[in-house]
């Protein structure tokens, strides 16, 4: 018997958690600005009320940044033991990239701090650059990410550092990158496929299929560096 994967077409859950000895897996579309922990808290509260069991185990496979949207796999009961296995499966992402501007957070959490010429970038030049991202490579996530540093989310440390830093934007970005290299471990990622879906006036849509990936970023600066964030 396998864990129950709950879908919109599934029959209603019974009130007895014992009816699901291998646990339950719920794919949830994480809302924008919600943390993964926010999702777990709400699901756990609802599950405890539904099953009438206070010590119910609820967890998730992988962590999405607050500004990222996408599928978060929530595991209930014995299915929490499958979290690591679920994270190792292939994943697919669709990302929008705007060229010619950067932000300190590598996404839209912070305001644009620098602008660069981008008129020379075309759909053809993007297509030619994509093969360089294919294959296994080392990756250090930005400090503005959901990575854990001694039990604290990296983006929480980044926000404190950003707020305390009154230097110029270039020096500030350099300090954030240096902090990321010092605090975050290098991860191995393997991108098996990368496709340009559309290109319109310096804005492109990318679809990729990496087997291990931290998360997409809609910021041109990340695309300019060979780390796919």
Non-local CB neighbours of 203 within 8 Å, separated by 6+ positions: 96, 97, 98, 99
Q: Which of 65, 90, 113, 138 is catalytic?
A: 65
The alpha carbons of the chain give a radius of gyration, in whole angstroms, of 20
Nearest to 133 by CA among 27, 20, 224, 48: 224
Contacts 24+ apart (CB under 8 A), 146-149: 146/35, 146/36, 146/63, 146/64, 146/65, 146/66, 146/215, 147/184, 147/214, 149/183, 149/184
Structure tokens at 5: 């994967």
User: CA-CA distances (angstroms) from residue 206 to 156, 184, 216, 220?
Assistant: 28, 26, 10, 12
Structure tokens at 17: 């958690």
The DSSP code sequence of 81-139 is GGHHHHHTS---EEEEEETTEE-TTSSTTS---EE---TT--HHHHHHHGGGG-EEEEE
65 is catalytic: yes
- List, by residue number, the catalytic residues: 65
């Amino acid at each position: 018997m396998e864990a129950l994967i709950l879908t919109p077409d599934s029959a209603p859950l019974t009130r007895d958690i014992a009816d699901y000895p291998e646990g339950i897996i719920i794919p949830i579309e994480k809302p924008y600005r919600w943390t993964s922990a926010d999702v777990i808290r709400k699901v756990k509260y609802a599950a405890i009320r539904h099953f009438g069991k206070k010590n119910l185990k609820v967890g998730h496979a992988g962590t999405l940044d607050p500004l990222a949207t996408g599928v978060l796999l929530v595991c209930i009961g014995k299915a929490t033991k499958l979290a690591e296995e679920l994270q190792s499966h292939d994943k697919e992402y669709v990302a929008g990239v705007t060229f010619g501007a950067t932000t300190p957070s590598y996404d839209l959490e912070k305001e644009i701090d620098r602008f660069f010429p981008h008129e020379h970038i075309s759909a053809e030049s993007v297509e030619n650059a994509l093969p360089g991202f294919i294959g296994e490579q080392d990756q250090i996530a930005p400090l503005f990410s959901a990575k854990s540093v001694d039990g604290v989310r990296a983006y929480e440390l980044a926000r404190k550092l950003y707020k305390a830093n009154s230097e110029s934007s270039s020096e500030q970005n350099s300090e954030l990158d240096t902090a990321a290299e010092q605090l975050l471990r290098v991860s191995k990622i393997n991108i098996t496929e990368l496709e340009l879906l559309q290109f319109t006036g310096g804005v492109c849509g990318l679809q990729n299929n990496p087997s291990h990936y931290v998360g997409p970023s809609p910021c041109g600066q990340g695309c300019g560096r060979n780390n796919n964030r």
